[in-house]
Amino acid sequence: MPCEAVSVADRERVLLAGYALHSADSAGRKHAEPTHLYRGPFQRDRDRIVHSTAYRRLSGKTQVFTSELGDFHRTRLTHTHEVASVSRTLGRALRLNEDLIEALALMHDIGHPPFGHAGEDVLDECLRDVGGFSHNRQALRIVELLESRYPEFPGLNLSLEVLAGQQSRADKSRKPERPLLEVQIVDAADSVAYDTHDVDDALQLGLLTLADLEEIPLWRECGERIRARYASLQTGEYRRAVLHELIDRQIGDLIVCASRRIDEWGVATTADVRRVEMIIRPNEELFQQKAELERFLYQRVYRHPQVVTGRTIAQAQLREMFRGYNAKPELMPQNFQDRAATIGLPRSVGDYIAGMTDRFAQHEFQRLFAR
């Protein structure tokens, strides 16, 4: 074994807890590869994801708000970065494998189609007869099949742990055992990120006011802490301070609760993690507060007339594109035409559309299908 590979294992033995997944304990990859000279397996996974085409395209895909509403709000890529940031913070505090966490976080939304969940709903509807569409499952298709960057194997040949972590997101109903803590961390961080940045973006866009948010106990509690800490703040300073407090409140609670559960339940190994209840979750009070905030966001932001209008237009365009490509598959690139012979035309059309950015989808709709 190369000396640098040993140093990765030595470093993790010093820094990581026994209940973290150490790189030396990875089950490997579907297609065996030699150990890398100076990178551990999950570092390699992270780098392969970052250098993939699908990852780059996230910069042009909707998180919640389409580009027509502005150009400063989150995209699917900036959301992914925020999830990775929160995940690393949680992972380091709990002495988990940050390389694995980062790979999982950077991959978690890589399967999203254009226009976010609006696009996902349309593709699920269009592909209902052949198994439907889920961005979590699509992420696995991308990294196992659709990305073509290496001559030795299809996809990215990620570690089995990263694939299993994404599979747990894709099939939440089938849970014979609990996922690794690194996987649980990313799910929790995803919730922290969107609960916070969707509020931030909605305020910036004028879809909400600070007075609206005072109805929400979690926001009101964070606001009271900020007012007690600072004598006076301008409106913009106050808003940013409360958003920071909202993140800190959630992260701090997750760390405290997880540490207590690990200690009380005697969790010492990854086997222990898999046999006990979910460890990375907020306390019951905060869970209920977050649920109330999310209901508020659904009613006042995600169903806001401006958001719904953009969603409706995008969905109509994607439906027409799906019908059009199925009627004239020669309009697709040759590799998608070729793949249709083995996986069926509807699924190949779904793969092609799912890979588009918002702008490219709009361009192709106007070029090929607009009437």
231 pLDDT tier (thresholds 50, 70, 90): confident
371 pLDDT tier (thresholds 50, 70, 90): confident
Question: Across the chain, what does the average pLDDT equal?
Answer: 94
pLDDT tens profile 193-225: 999 999 999 999 999 999 999 999 999 999 999
Over 80: is that where the pLDDT of 71 sits? no
Mean pLDDT of 318-325: 98
According to CATH, the superfamily of the domain at 3-369 is: Hypothetical protein af1432 (1.10.3210.10)
pLDDT tens profile 118-170: 999 999 999 999 999 999 999 999 999 999 888 889 999 999 999 999 999 98
Q: Which residue has the tokens 């990620």?
A: 158
Nearest to 141 by CA among 361, 351, 369, 360: 351
Phi-psi region of 67 (alpha: psi -120 to 50; beta: other; left: phi over 0): alpha
- Tell me which of 39-43, 67-71, 138-142, 334-338 is least confident: 67-71
Whether 58 contacts 77, CB under 8 Å: yes
Whether 42 contacts 27, CB under 8 Å: no
- Tell me which of 236-250, 257-271, 298-312 is least confident: 298-312
The per-residue DSSP string of 165-197 comes to HHHHHH-TT--SSPPPHHHHHHHHHHHHHHHHH
64 pLDDT tier (thresholds 50, 70, 90): confident
Q: What is the pTM of this model?
A: 0.94
